[in-house]
Structure 1
Amino acid sequence: MSKIHSLRVFFKSKDVFMRKKVSMEVINPCAAGIDVGSRSHYAAIGQGESDVREFGVYNENLLSLAEWFLENGIKTVAMESTGTYWQSLYATLQSVGLEVILCNGKFTKNIKGKKTDVQDCQWIQKLHTLGLLSGSFLPDEATEQLRTYCRHRTNLLEQSAGTTKKMQKYLRLLNLRLDVVVKDVVGLSGLAIIDAICKGETNPEKLAAYRHGNCKKSEQEIAKALQWNGRKDYLFALNHEYQMYQNLQSKITECDIELEKLLNEQIGQDDNKKQHVIDKKVYKKINKNTPKNMDINLLSYQYFEGVDLLAIEGVSYSTVLTLMSEVGSGIHKFESAKQFSSWLRLSPNNKISGGKVLSNKIPKGSNRLKIALRNAANAIGNLKDTALSNFFKRIAFRKGRVSAISATARKLAVIIWNMLVKKVPYKAETPYEFIDQKRKRKVQEMKKLIAKFDIKTDELNFQL
């Protein structure tokens, strides 16, 4: 009987526990949630059926949505960053004075089995009301404009690279092995020869005469490689690809002009920026894809108000231009260098359970700035006897080149954040400074262990 009685008491207490309600504090009482779509947007101002409405994607629909929010006393709105469909809606809601939070889609996922547009917008509204959503990083309008030009220029460069590969293909099919005797098919010698081929020239000696003086191969060797097989269909396709390449190069030049104009406007509006002057860096290599018509060294020095990012070894003009267009002055929004490197997904994602580290891999995902920093880190790995290259080689020796690239890219992100936010000039570490830092780190680790195990000073007096 005592056992039965104890079981009744147990199930009764369990029933009382199951009837308990867990209450959460309301952080945003005047909050709304929007499920962004390509053809319509579902908005929720509460959890009832009458609190959800569907709106179209035209401008008048977006204005009606904003008016509905204001009529119901909404002050803050949360939405997912779905493709590019959110941008017009985001700008409209901000223009009427609403606080808009753009969230990563993985933080707004509903529980399994509940997937409708109505339930999604209500779920976002509930999470935002309870203060469980955090906003994503968004640059200011000036940086956004700069980013548009830079990303469009990158797309043009990728298309140009595609046409270059196709030109190489058709030259190979024509038995014109220009890629064997010329280092760069779209260099000075290569383009001059391709232009003559497209104009109808087939004599190998005459084609070889277009060789530039910097070309290492002789005219006789180039003439041997340019014996074509007479296929007019391939010649027709080569001519089209060459015209597309020339058109893309002209578009890139136009984009560079607009990019320089925008940078000069942004710098010219700030007296504190335009007063800075810096000498040219003749030792920095200029890549063929680097904008030719502007001095990125001077523009970046003025843009970042006297911070010389190109002083870091391995950092190229394209790296600095990517940083200006992707983050810009918005880097001050990150409270620490750790937060900045974590946003770039360059910091290890430590997964710990039961006091044991299960995984410490870098999170998946990438962005243009992360790619630029990894490319810079890869270039640093090829340098000799510099502070960062020595760091790269130490990591590569222990964990391999891929891990060294990630670690060096994170180190670059920390250096850049300190330079831009704390105005700390870059100073390459000497081996002696590294030894001192290593000694300080070991001393700090020993102090933590002494405090952890509550070791007394008299206990440290032991003999080995």
Structure 2
Amino acid sequence: MEQESIPMEVVNAHAAGVDVGSRSHWVAVGQQPEEVREFGVYNQDLFAMAQWLGEKKVKTVAMESTGTYWQNLYAVLIAKGFQVVLCNGKFTKNIKGKKTDVKDCQWIQKLHTLGLLNSSFLPDEATEQLRTYCRHRSNLLHQAASTSKKMQKYLRLLNLRLDVVVNDICGLTGLSIIRAICQGESNPQKLASLRHGNCRKSEHELALALQSNGRADYLFALQQELETYDYLQEKVLQCDVKIGEQLEKIIGNDPNKNQHQLPPKIYKRINKNSPKDIDLNLKSYQMFEGVDLLAIEGMSYSTVLSLMSEVGLAGIRKFGNAKQFASWLRLAPNNKVSGGKVLSSKVPKGSNRLKIALRNAANAIGNLKDSTPLRDFFQRISFRKGRVSAISATARKLAVIIWNLLIKGATYINPAGYLFLDQKRKLGMVKRIRKQIDKFGLTNEELGFNSL
């Protein structure tokens, strides 16, 4: 019996497939053995590959996003005028038989020829540079946090229970006391006198917790960790300078961005790990061309910076709708239906830095004491499915809100009239003053208003 075959339409007639490796790249322009070649990873090898692909009249190239090995090859091929499709490796795994580099590149070439591969999301070059600075800064902050834990450990071994009397040993009070300890000061009263005015504990309580056992080895290790912490903080400040320069480069060259102005939000808390000397309130307003994302409750400066560096405005415009944006963030359920029944609706695995930032913002919304639409939504989901599901659902809703604001140019309006902490304090102070005026029956003359 003659075997039947189902023909498939060729979508990309002049296509090539690349199996990216750490030491060599295998390239296929067809399914015959003579149509496969191996190239090295040096710069001259990448240009030789581009020249060979040009001789074979290849117009589009598909490759897997393997680690970071694809980036230099991707840049060379783009510069040479090829259309490059960077795909996720999980879409090219289903190949029968023994797995080899030759079969891999031929399989990628076949899938790309038939139009079965979709390109992964990539930001523009300016956003990618900003992302590099922000990610490196985040890594430095993680290292500094690890160093602070080690300092806390050696303080505890020295019987200096600074962690009991202060909330943050790397705050103003904590660092002042640690520096004095590393310089040889051991008198508890003198150490306690370095207390900052914001510290809730008294000098007497601090002195009780700062009686050391005098171990020289632990003191030496504490000094080393303090030097490491100071070194990392210096590197973080250098990253802040680069981030500020890159933001100026992106915004300053675009008249549609730098024309927008926005007054500062004095009621927004600035975390100590936020970039220094950068007005992220204004920069984000200009970056997103007049959309104030910080007006959304729960959004912090770090969340907005993650959005600017991981995606950017041009990147968000690549998503056709809010559902695609939420799905790319791995915040939308992956419904698996068979026989008319939903077998699974779990959120797909995988996290990027923007997803983590939005989940942190959702968690902050869940901690709000005042009633807002987002906070009420969080509470309803938390009551039915638990806090973890509520964080994911609220993060997805934030992603949908952000997409609609940036693409449609709408303004975020909270119908509940949410007030930030300093605004509520000011409003409460006005109410108390008016109450006192009415209680004592004070007039404008007694208050001195007529003389103004």
2:265 aligns with: 281
- Correspondence for 2:373 among 387, 392, 399: 387
User: Structure 2: which 5+ runs fail to align?
Assistant: 418-452
Q: Which residue of 2 aligns with 1:167?
A: 151
- Partners of 1:203 and 1:146 in 2: how far apart? 47
What displacement does 1:217 show? Answer: 1.1
Report deviation, 1:429. 4.6
Q: Residue type of the partner of 1:49?
A: P
Match of 1:405 among 378, 384, 391: 391
Aligned length: 415
Question: Residue 338 of structure 2 aligns with which residue?
Answer: 353
CA distance in 1, matches of 2:32, 2:103: 11
Structure-1 residue corresponding to 2:191 = 207
**Contact 2:371-2:416 at 8 Å conserved across structures:** no
Q: Does residue 1:396 correspond to 2:368, yes or no? A: no
> Is the Cα contact below 8 Å between 2:405 and 2:412 reproduced in 1?
yes
Q: How does 1:146-165 map to 2 (within 5 A)?
A: 146-165=130-149
Q: Distance in 2 between matches of 1:206 and 1:284?
A: 35
- Alignment of 1:300 onto 2:252: no
Structure 1 distance, partners of 2:333, 2:197, is 50
> Where do 1:47-446 residues align within 5 Å?
47-329=31-313, 330-383=315-368, 384-429=370-415
Report SS of the residue matched to 1:333: coil
Q: 1:110 offset after TM fit, Å?
A: 3.4
Q: In the alignment, which of 19, 24, 28 is matched to residue 8 of structure 2?
A: 24
Q: CA deviation at 1:223?
A: 1.1
User: CA-to-partner distance for each residue in 1:275-304, whole Å, 9 max, x for gaps?
Assistant: 111111122111111112111000000111
Q: Which moved more, 1:65-74 or 1:228-237?
A: 228-237
Task: Give 1:36's aligned residue.
Answer: 20
Q: Normalising by structure 1, report the TM-score.
A: 0.88
Q: Which runs of 4+ in 1 moved over 3 A?
A: none
In the TM superposition, residue 386 of structure 1 has moved relative to its aligned partner by 0.7
Which secondary structure state, in structure 1, belongs to the residue aligned with residue 220 of structure 2? helix
Contact preservation (8 Å) 1:377, 1:409: yes
| Cα distance in 2 between the residues matched to 1:93 and 1:149 | 25
How far apart in 1 are the matches of 2:361 and 2:16? Answer: 43
Query: CA offsets per residue over residues 104-163 of structure 1, 9 Å max, x none?
Result: 000011324331100000000000000000000000001001001100000010000000
Q: Match of 2:236, as an amino acid?
A: I
1:349/1:360 contact within 8 Å kept: yes
Match of 2:449 in 1: none
Radius of gyration: which is bigger?
Answer: 1
Shift of residue 358 of structure 1? Answer: 0.7
Q: Report the more deviating stretch, 196-205 or 56-65.
A: 196-205
Cα root mean square deviation, aligned: 1.1
- Take 1:428 and 1:278, find their aligned partners in 2: how far apart are those partners? 19
Whole-Å Cα distance in 1 between the matches of residues 96 and 32 of structure 2?
21
Structure 1 residue 226: Cα displacement = 1.0
Per the alignment, in what secondary structure is the counterpart of residue 194 of structure 2? Answer: coil
Where does residue 446 of structure 1 map in the other structure?
Answer: none
Aligned residue type for 2:403 = W
Measure, in 2, the Cα distance between the counterparts of 1:209 and 1:261. Answer: 40
* Matches of 2:392 and 2:125, distance apart in 1: 30
Q: Any idea what SS the aligned residue of 1:41 has? A: strand
Work out the CA distance in 1 between the residues paired with 2:148 and 2:415: 42
Whole-angstrom CA distance in 2 between matches of 1:57 and 1:292: 39
Describe the superposition over 1:396-454 as per-residue Cα deviations: whole angstroms up to 9, x where unpaired. 111111111111101000000011111111122569xxxxxxxxxxxxxxxxxxxxxxx
* More displaced stretch, 356-365 vs 258-267: 258-267
The residue that corresponds to 2:428 in the other structure is none
Query: What TM-score, normalized to structure 2?
Result: 0.90
Counting aligned pairs with the same residue, the percent is 70
Aligned AA (1:319): T
Structure 1: tracts of 5 or more residues without a match: 1-14, 432-464
Cα distance in 2 for partners of 1:184, 1:36 equals 46
Task: Give the equivalent residue in structure 1 for 2:429.
Answer: none
Contact 1:110 1:123 in 2 (8 A): no
- Whole-Å Cα distance in 2 between the matches of residues 429 and 100 of structure 1? 46
Measured in 1, the distance between the counterparts of 2:211 and 2:415 equals 56
Task: Give the superposition deviation at 1:254.
Answer: 1.0
Structure 1 stretch displaced more, 328-337 or 109-118: 109-118
Q: Distance in 1 between matches of 2:353 and 2:373?
A: 25
